[in-house]
Amino acid sequence: MARKGAGGSDPPKLHNRLAVLRAERGINRRELAEAVGINPQTVGFLERGDYGPSVELALRLAGFFNLPVEAIFSLTPFPAMSAQLYTPSTTGENS
């Protein structure tokens, strides 16, 4: 998951849901950092997308949240949570 691209081109941005998941679980950066063995500042860098984690760190984060890696990290932007929760089929408009 290293973000260093080859050939001098910019690497693709790695999108993640870390901030949402952290807020959902009610933990702060320090607690998450301690749980996965990194410095709290690095959690900030990860959440802002300024740093792409190694596979090992991504797996540790996935293990901590008990989710598959692709539920946390993606090369394409994640759809907005509201769009996922309130699609026409779930609101009953199509039923």
Which residues have a Cβ under 8 Å from the Cβ of 31 and sit 6 or more positions away?
none
Dihedral sign from CA coordinates of 41, 47, 53, 55: positive
Site for another protein contains 60 (CB under 8 A): no
Site for another protein contains 34 (CB under 8 A): no
Site for another protein contains 91 (CB under 8 A): no
Nearer to another protein, 8 or 79 (CB): 8
Binding footprint of another protein on the chain (CB under 8 A): 28-30, 37-45, 47-48, 50-51, 53-54, 56-57
